[in-house]
Amino acid sequence: MGKQVVPESARRRRRPTKNGAVLSERVIVETALRMLAEHGGEGLTARRLGLALGADPSTLYRYFAGMDDLTLAIGAELIGRALDGWAPTGEWRADLRRLGLRIHGAYLAHPQAAVLTASRVTGREQETAVDEAILAVLRTAGFPDPDTVRIYHAFIDQSLAFAALDAASLALPAAAREADEQMWESTYARLSAASHPHIAATADLLAARMNHSAYPAALDMLLDSAESRLGRLVGRAIAHPTES
């Protein structure tokens, strides 16, 4: 069973640590993000984090129930950053596209942390704020609740899935990532038209596209589908105004 987290008012450290830091959840999360960037997920331990903060590792458990709780806080921080500077304009499609790209970008800014957290459901304030924003955009646009939830589900899972996929590539050692990227020209572009006619016919296009994220294109496809659905709903309402 995880350790009980001390309430915020009781756990706040009044004196700086050996490194001069005044501990808080945010300071710990920011330090953990830096450690993940330097050492990857396997390098994030309570001992190493304590050393980086200049505090005894046990101090961390006054702020988090355990390292998994810290992982959830890191995930919440990343997705929460998508809302920084974002506000709805009333143009639902443009608003969702911008928010989706911001979610994707927030994770890719910290690829090692994204690999660790993109599949997690945190239930924390930052995450629920993003969910509330997406649902509000869709409901305000006029989508019925069943469609709102269906589109929200596809939208958020697509955003996080591409974030995890693209972050995993960025988190690779540089040599491995470069080898993967060169594969489209070193191997695919050299396949015979006799054995692989369709790859051979599109080899130049594949080489130009495949080392870039497909997320913007996939996001546009999803929004195209949602826009078409809304158009059908509006058309049906105009044609049958008395229907409930």
pLDDT band at 20 (very low <50, low <70, confident <90, very high): low
Distances (CA, A) of 152 to 1, 62, 167, 184, 213: 34, 35, 22, 34, 21
How much is the pLDDT for 1? 41
- Distance from C-alpha of 144 to C-alpha of 78, rounded to nearest angstrom: 30
Determine the pLDDT at residue 17. Answer: 64
Which residues does 108 contact at the CB level (< 8 Å), separation at least 6? 114, 163, 166, 167, 170
Give me the sign of the Cα torsion angle 102, 72, 137, 148: positive
Alpha carbon distances (Å) from 26 to 17, 34, 74: 15, 12, 9
Confidence at residue 11, expressed as pLDDT on a 0 to 100 scale: 52
Is the pLDDT at 116 greater than 90? The verdict is yes
| Topology agreement, domain 8-65 and domain 88-239 | no
Of 127 and 239, more confident: 127
Confidence band of 12 (pLDDT split at 50, 70, 90): low
At 102 the pLDDT is 98
Q: What's the CA gap between 81 and 106, in Å, rounded?
A: 6
pLDDT tens-digit profile of 212-224?
A: 999 999 999 999 9
* CATH class held by domain 8-65: mainly alpha
Query: How confident is residue 22, by pLDDT bands cut at 50, 70 and 90?
Result: confident
pLDDT in tens, 145-204: 999 999 999 999 999 999 999 999 999 999 999 999 999 999 999 999 999 999 999 999
Query: Residue 102: what residue type?
Result: R
CA–CA gap between residue 22 and residue 17 (Å, rounded): 6
Write the pLDDT tens digit of every residue in 62-115: 999 999 999 999 999 999 999 999 999 999 999 999 999 999 999 999 999 999
Q: What is the pLDDT of residues 49-65, one digit of tens each?
A: 999 999 999 989 999 99
Q: Does 88-239 carry CATH code 1.10.10.10?
A: no
Cα–Cα distances (Å) from 88 to 33, 80, 98, 159, in that order, read: 29, 16, 10, 18
Q: Give residue limits of the domains in the chain.
A: 8-65, 88-239
